[in-house]
């Protein structure tokens, strides 16, 4: 069982487990930045698997796609929706923003909320984060203890966030995203900058959480590891989806994209 998967909602007096995944739907979604750079071009796709990897070269649109999913960006054309159960929301919509923030946990590389650096310790930073997410007083300490164990942060609980090494900052970034008890984690390069050993540790912790995870990575070896069990891999190139399928086939297609770009650069 996952860390918080025993939580229940009620429907007409009947207790039922909350959904274990959300469905993201992009319909002709595009995004253009203020400087004119096109981050995503006319993408239509539905994402509902438990483990989805997004790969591609720098500038291919990975971060833009993830920010459209978690509501950090609004499409400049087309639409992006999030469906959980019978409810459909717009991730960037003002009306749905608070609900989406509770459903979707954002992981930005090893970036930790600035408030964590102002806190006396990792445990107190998590406690304050959960408090702002309206987690009841009686629940927070149990949740924090479980979270620290699952993310291998127990030895760091009483130390300030700025004392953590790079590996544990990456893990704390995941912990910060879990404070609102989301159904899905949207993670942008959650192992960026780590060596092979630390990458394996962070990946193991992230995918042991029994959560739906949509993540971007440059580490193609990670998405083909059997123990991670990626369900689906999407390859982006110049803002478009150019492959959508199994991890190994996506890695092969990625190699073709790299060769094509290299040959084009040589020709130029």
Please list the pLDDT of the chain residue by residue as tens digits (268 residues): 333 333 334 444 454 577 889 999 999 999 999 999 999 999 999 999 999 999 999 999 999 999 999 999 999 999 999 999 999 999 998 899 989 999 999 998 778 888 899 999 999 999 999 998 888 888 899 999 999 999 999 999 999 999 999 999 999 999 999 998 999 999 999 999 999 999 999 999 999 998 999 999 999 999 999 988 999 999 999 999 999 999 999 999 999 999 999 988 776 5
CA of residue 174 relative to chain centroid, distance? 9
Q: Which residue has the tokens 């609980």?
A: 157
The ranges assigned to domains in the chain are 22-267
CATH architecture of 22-267: 3-Layer(aba) Sandwich (3.40)
**How many angstroms separate the Cα of 233 from the Cα of each of 50, 86, 215, 222, 263?**
11, 26, 10, 12, 25
């Amino acid at each position: 069982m996952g860390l918080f998967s025993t939580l229940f909602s009620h429907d007409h007096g009947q207790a039922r487990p909350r959904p274990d995944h959300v469905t993201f739907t992009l319909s002709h979604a595009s995004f253009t930045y203020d400087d004119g750079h096109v981050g995503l071009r006319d993408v239509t796709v539905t994402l509902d698997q438990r483990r989805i990897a997004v790969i591609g070269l720098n500038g291919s649109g990975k971060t833009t796609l993830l920010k459209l999913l978690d509501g950090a960006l609004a499409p400049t054309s087309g639409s992006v929706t999030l469906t959980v159960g019978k409810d459909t929301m717009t991730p960037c919509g003002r009306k749905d923003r608070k609900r989406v923030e509770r459903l979707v946990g954002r992981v930005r590389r090893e970036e930790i909320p600035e408030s964590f650096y102002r806190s006396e310790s990792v445990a107190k930073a998590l406690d304050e984060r959960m408090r702002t997410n309206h987690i009841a007083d009686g629940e927070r300490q149990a949740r924090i203890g479980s979270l620290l164990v699952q993310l291998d942060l127990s030895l760091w609980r009483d130390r300030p966030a700025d004392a953590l090494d790079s590996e544990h900052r990456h893990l704390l970034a995941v912990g910060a995203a879990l404070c609102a008890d989301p159904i899905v984690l949207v993670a942008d390069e959650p192992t960026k900058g780590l060596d092979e050993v630390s990458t394996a540790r962070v990946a193991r912790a992230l995918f042991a959480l029994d959560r739906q995870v949509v993540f971007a990575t440059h580490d193609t070896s990670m998405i083909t590891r059997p123990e991670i069990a990626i369900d689906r891999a999407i390859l982006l190139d110049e803002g478009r989806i150019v492959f959508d399928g199994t991890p190994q086939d996506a890695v092969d297609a990625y190699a073709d994209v790299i060769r094509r770009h290299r040959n084009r650069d040589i020709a130029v």
